[in-house]
Amino acid sequence: MAFQPTAAHAVRSLRLALASACMMVVSASALATDEPAPGAAPVVAPVLAPALPRMALRLPLAQKVEVHGAMNFDKAGGQAGGQILYPGGLAGLLVGIATHAAVSGGIQSAERTRMREAADAVLLPHKAILDSYTQQELMAAAMPQMAPEKDKRLLDAKAALLAGELVLDSVPVLLITQDLRAVVLEHAMSIKSGAKTKPYELVIRVVSPARTTAGMGAAYWFEQNGARLKQESARMLAESVNIVLAEMARTPVLPEPGAAPAGVFRTVRFAEGSTERIERAQIISERCGQALIRTLRGHLMSVPLSVAADAPLDPACIADAEPGQS
């Protein structure tokens, strides 16, 4: 009888392949921040491991990419940094985020609607471009930048799966800061392996480095049919998947919802566009001003750290710095 890989084999292979890399997950934006011309091929993120189980990235049911103006919940009793929260915990992630149904359970519906409409106003001049941006386009551009280097495919929401395949249900939401200097990816992922019934579910937030205002018009992200926005969002999507695959290898069993992660927490200051945000978090890795952190809520974030203007810069990072980048 031919050997049929099981869920245990798939997870074991993933853990072995990524065990040496999982503690050194590095933001792709720190490794390659030279800004390409609009329409250029996406920068390929570092491959975390040469051998992983076959991976299938399943398209969401909603065809259009959700793109919104970033909201600020600081004055509405929300979480620092305006992070999206989903109804029903992780069990309601994919349903809630697919319709962008909720932002914070503590904010009344009318107030939430008002805040959303006000935040989205900054994107109204570019509505036609954003309305035509599809999940198929985003994920197809991100796939070449994801681990594994081979043995991965993009499939329709109702397509049949292969034995031993890691199946990633993924629903990304893009947020653009009100100053138009940065893009934020809110990414809910649910990963199943073989016959394993309980999915591995995580929320990750990736914040792009802020672009300087010098020479950057209001249409910076939207020129040439949104070429820069599409390139950056594909890079961030691939980065988020690579981080979660490494985290899955390092921590195959997630803590129960609501349980505070074990370990030392510190105050982390980071930039979200021109605004400084603060989180109590564990720093998992850090390089060239970009850090991967775990918040008190157990969410992962890849963020550009706030540093003093006269802080010394690692010589290894100087060559990667973008001219004019703040």
Domain boundaries, the chain: 27-318
66-69/166-176 β-pairing: parallel
User: Residue 302 class from Cβ within 10 Å (0-12 exposed, 13-18 middle, 19+ buried)?
Assistant: buried
Q: Residue 31 has what pLDDT?
A: 33
Q: Are 212 and 324 in contact (CB under 8 A)?
A: yes
Dihedrals φ, ψ of 60, to 5°?
Answer: -65, 165
Q: Residue 312 has what pLDDT?
A: 53
Helix H or strand E encompassing 140? helix 135-142
Going from the first residue of the chain to its last (326 residues), give the mean pLDDT of each consecutive group of 10, the final group possibly shorter. Answer: 43 40 36 41 39 80 92 54 43 46 49 87 95 96 86 86 85 93 93 76 90 72 94 96 89 66 86 91 88 89 72 54 42
Tokens 């070449």 label which residue?
144
Q: Residue 249 has what pLDDT?
A: 83
Closest by CA position to 168, among listed 179, 181, 157, 184: 157
Q: Are 236 and 206 in contact (CB under 8 A)?
A: yes
State the DSSP code for 305: B
Task: With both helix axes pointing from N to C terminus, report the angle between 7-18 and 223-250 in degrees, rounded to the nearest 10.
Answer: 100
Instruction: Record the tokens describing residue 83, joined without a space.
Output: 């992070």
Give pLDDT tens digits for 171-202. 899 999 999 999 999 999 988 876 666 888 88
- In whole angstroms, what is the distance from residue 176 CA to residue 71 CA? 9
CB atoms within 10 A of CB 21: 19
Give pLDDT tens digits for 196-242. 668 888 889 999 998 876 656 778 899 999 999 999 999 999 999 99
Tokens 């792009």 label which residue?
208
Q: Give the 3-state secondary structure of residue 3.
A: coil
Q: Residue 251 has what pLDDT?
A: 78
- In whole angstroms, what is the distance from residue 28 CA to residue 242 CA? 10
State the DSSP code for 259: P
For 182, 271, 311, the CA distances from 306, given in Å and listed in that order, are 14, 6, 10
Q: Residue 22 has what pLDDT?
A: 39
Closest by CA position to 27, among listed 187, 148, 182, 208: 208
